[in-house]
């Protein structure tokens, strides 16, 4: 029995998509069923594309270079917006978690702004930044900033006291205390916040590109519909978005298995 106890890794994998051999075929079965259903309904519709048409659409987009260009545009916007969010949210969150005064100063504002969907900011973004790269980047920044700042603040706030005291006992303080003790202790929670932030960023980039710019995967979708109701290309864009989102999350999960944060996710202690 003891030998069969799962590690935390295996649980994560169970939930994350790469499954144990026993149930390996199950997700494929579900996907196959859905595609079957899709095919069956699409066959009788004049507009809604069949899976085959969508695959053809993806190939077409890949051939003429649109697909790669749009993916690169979307991803680079996410990279910039998300990078800005990280650069601001982690320092601010750390200060908020460490100093009660900073927390009291910023927390109400953050809690007030956080529930506003980034989508609601689109009109203001266009007003301030116009139609161009800056608008989606601003929206991505907004959407990923809040989850990261909140997770960082709570992670830093909850750093177990015995670690801080041990560091003080070795006369380590100031920036080194933060770098060597507080930050790594909070890192697992920060990573969780980063994962959530990236997920939202990817949701938001698509929405932003639908209205505020003329490139990227969101634009691809809206353009395919407006320019001739090419629903095969619409769905092709959606499938691509799903796949990339899935890969991004997988990438973030890899962060959680890093040795410096394993202590929090593993059961060992």
Partner 1 sequence: MPDKVAVRGVWKSFPTDQGPLAALEDVAFGLAEGEFVSLVGPSGCGKSTLLNILTGFERPDRGKVLVDGRPIEGPSQRGILITQRGSVFPWMTVRRNLLFGAGGRPEDERESLVRHYMDLVGLGGFEDSFPWQLSGGMLQRVEVARALMASPELLFMDEPFGALDALTRMRMRAELLQILSRDRHTCLLVTHDVEEAIHLSDRILVMSPRPGTIQCILEVDAPQPRIMSSPRLVSLKERVLRELGLSARAGEPEAGLPVTPPVPTQAGPRGPLSRRRILRRGAPVNPRCADEAERVDAVVVGGGPGGASAATVLASNGLKVLVLEREPFPRYHVGESLLPALWELWDRLDVTRQIEAAGFVVKQGIRFGMFRDPEDVVLLTAEYPAYFPRSYTYHVDRSRFDALLLDNARRKGAEVREGWTVSDVVMRGGWVTGVLAAPNGQPPKPIAADVVVDATGRDCLLARRMGWRRPDPALNKVAHFTQFTGGAVRDVSALIPVPDRIPGSTTTDVHTIHGGWIWYIPLGGDTVSVGAVLDARLAGRLAEDPQAVFERALLDCPKVREALENARQAMPVQTVSGISYINDSFVGNGFVLVGDASMFVDPIFSAGVTLAIRGGVYAADCILDAFQHRDFSARRLKPYETRIRQPMDRIFEMIRHWYAILDGVHEDNMIRRAREIPWLRERLIVLLSGGYEKMDLESFLVAVKAAS
Q: Please, what is the minimum distance in Å from the beta carbon of residue 31 to partner 1?
A: 20
Q: Between residues 12 and 60, which has the closer beta carbon with respect to partner 1?
A: 12
Do 130 and 68 contact (CB within 8 A), yes or no?
no
Q: Please, what is the minimum distance in Å from the beta carbon of residue 257 to partner 1?
A: 13
Q: Between residues 3 and 227, which has the closer beta carbon with respect to partner 1?
A: 3
Q: Between residues 4 and 254, which has the closer beta carbon with respect to partner 1?
A: 4
Q: Which stretches of the chain bind partner 1, using CB under 8 A?
A: 1-2, 4-6, 10-11, 14, 20, 22-23, 158, 162-163, 165-172, 180-181, 184-185, 187, 259-264, 266-269
Q: Between residues 14 and 104, which has the closer beta carbon with respect to partner 1?
A: 14
Residues 237 and 231: their CA atoms lie apart, in Å, by 10
Q: Please, what is the minimum distance in Å from the beta carbon of residue 123 to partner 1?
A: 33
Task: Tell me the C-alpha to C-alpha distance, in Å, between residue 252 and each of 7, 104, 153, 257, 266.
Answer: 19, 31, 20, 9, 17
Q: Between residues 149 and 208, which has the closer beta carbon with respect to partner 1?
A: 149
Residues 185 and 156: their CA atoms lie apart, in Å, by 8
Q: Between residues 67 and 153, which has the closer beta carbon with respect to partner 1?
A: 153
Query: Cβ atoms within 10 A of the Cβ of 224, count?
Result: 21
* Residue found by looking up tokens 């697992």 in the block: 188
Do 219 and 228 contact (CB within 8 A), yes or no?
no
Q: Please, what is the minimum distance in Å from the beta carbon of residue 172 to partner 1?
A: 7
Phi, psi torsion values for 7, nearest 5 degrees: -80, 170
Residues 86 and 91: their CA atoms lie apart, in Å, by 8
Q: Please, what is the minimum distance in Å from the beta carbon of residue 21 to partner 1?
A: 10
Q: Between residues 83 and 184, which has the closer beta carbon with respect to partner 1?
A: 184
CB under 8 A, 24+ apart: contacts of 5-13: 7/266, 7/267, 8/265, 8/266, 8/267, 9/257, 9/265, 9/266, 12/253, 12/256, 12/265
Q: Please, what is the minimum distance in Å from the beta carbon of residue 192 to partner 1?
A: 9
Helices and strands of the chain, counted as H and E runs? 13, 0
Tokens encoding 209: 């590109």
Q: Between residues 76 and 266, which has the closer beta carbon with respect to partner 1?
A: 266
Q: Nearest Cα to 148, choosing from 83, 205, 103?
A: 83
Q: Please, what is the minimum distance in Å from the beta carbon of residue 150 to partner 1?
A: 11
Q: Please, what is the minimum distance in Å from the beta carbon of residue 245 to partner 1?
A: 24
């Amino acid at each position: 029995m003891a030998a069969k106890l799962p590690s935390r890794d295996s649980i994560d994998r169970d939930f994350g998509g790469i499954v144990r051999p026993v149930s390996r075929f199950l997700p494929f079965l579900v996907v196959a069923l859905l595609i079957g259903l899709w095919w069956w309904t699409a066959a009788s519709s004049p507009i809604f594309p069949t899976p085959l048409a969508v695959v053809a659409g993806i190939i077409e987009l890949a051939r003429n270079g649109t697909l790669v260009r749009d993916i690169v545009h979307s991803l680079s916007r996410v990279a910039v917006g998300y990078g800005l969010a990280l650069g601001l949210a982690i320092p601010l969150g750390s200060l908020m978690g460490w100093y009660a005064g900073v927390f009291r100063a910023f927390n109400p504002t953050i809690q007030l702004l956080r529930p506003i969907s980034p989508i609601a900011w689109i009109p203001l973004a266009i007003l301030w930044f116009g139609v161009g790269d800056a608008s989606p980047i601003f929206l991505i920044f907004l959407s990923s900033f809040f989850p990261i700042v909140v997770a960082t603040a709570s992670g830093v706030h909850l750093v177990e006291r015995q670690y801080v005291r041990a560091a003080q006992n070795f006369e380590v303080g100031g920036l080194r205390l933060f770098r060597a003790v507080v930050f790594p202790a909070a890192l697992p929670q920060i990573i969780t916040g980063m994962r959530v932030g990236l997920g939202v960023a990817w949701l938001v980039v698509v929405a932003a590109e639908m209205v505020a710019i003329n490139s990227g995967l969101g634009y691809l979708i809206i353009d395919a519909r407006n320019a001739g109701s090419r629903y095969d290309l619409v769905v092709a864009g959606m499938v691509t978005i799903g796949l990339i989102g899935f890969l991004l999350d997988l990438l973030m999960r890899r962060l959680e298995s890093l040795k410096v944060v394993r202590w929090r996710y593993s059961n060992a202690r």
